[in-house]
Copies of this chain bind each other. A is one copy, B any other.
Amino acid sequence: MSDHHPHSEDHFEASELVRDVVIGMADGLTVPFALAAGISGAAVAVSTVVTAGVAEIAAGAIAMGLGGYLAARSSADHYGAELAREEFEILEKPEAEAAEVAEIFEHYGLKPEHYAGVIAGLRERPIAWRDFMMRFELGLERPNPTQAQRSAITIGASYVVGGSIPLAPYVVLHSVNQALPWSAAVTLLALGLFGYGKARFSGAPPLRSALQTMAIGGMAASVAFLLARAIS
């Protein structure tokens, strides 16, 4: 264990990228796999499975990618609105704002004798005061302006990559009965590797992560298969 924590900002961009790949690929592996397995249970032609799979991958990639874009944009908007409000309050109502700083420290059992210096220092530094309130009162991090576009592309592309794995056997093989076990095998393998690799970033136990990821995919596919067979 080092004496020093890794600073969150250093790893900010890498962890955002990993998070987006995880978001896109987890769903991309699971849902198209389960959909293909599900309609395989309804005894349709292999071409129908491929068509439905491609439609699902396109729809899912766009919905998740644009969803990620809008989520990132809306948190940037939210940050901007709160920043303006903090600026207004520091300029127009400094006493109320100083009381809010006091409240933050009182929460940790500190007394005016401990935190009076911080309030005095912030009063002389309005910009730093605003940034201090954003972080310590509201818990908001300054968003990265290009993050929204990058998020959209990463999530969408990861969904397409993930989704093409379960669909590949239906493209290559000529019957649903042949393709389904291959699709299950390659997808469960990919889910296991993905869960294992993901654990390296999250710090979770790798084997547990691999088994969990495989269990989600397997359960989603089994339920979809049984439901589709029941209603068809």
A residues within 8 Å of B by Cβ? 1, 3-5, 8, 26-27, 30-31, 33-35, 37-39, 41-42, 44, 47-48, 50-52, 54-56, 58-60, 62-64, 66-67, 70, 74, 77-78, 81, 85, 88, 93, 96, 100, 105, 108-111, 113-118, 120-122, 125, 128-129, 131-132, 135-139, 141, 202-204, 212, 216-217, 219-221, 223-225, 227-228, 231-232
B63 in contact with A216 (CB, 8 Å): yes
Knowing A52-B39, A204-B74, A216-B67, the reply to whether A122 touches B108 (Cβ < 8 A) is: yes
- Report A26 CB to chain B, min CB distance, Å: 6
CB-CB < 8 A to A220: which residues of B? 58-60, 62-63, 66
Name A171's closest neighbour in chain B (CB-CB): B231
A56 to chain B minimum Cβ distance, whole angstroms, is: 5
Q: How many copies does the complex hold?
A: 2
Please give me the residue from chain B that is nearest to A44 by CB atom: B48
Q: Which of B37, B41, B52 contacts A38 (CB 8 A)?
A: B52
CB distance from A1 to the nearest CB of B (A): 7
CB <8 Å contact, A5 and B131 = no
Rounded to whole angstroms, the CA-CA distance of A219 and B176 in the bound complex is 30
Bound state CA distance, A124 and B17, in angstroms? 40
Q: A8-B138, A30-B67, A139-B141 are in contact. List 4 more A-B contacts (CB 8 A).
A: A39-B55, A55-B224, A110-B128, A135-B139
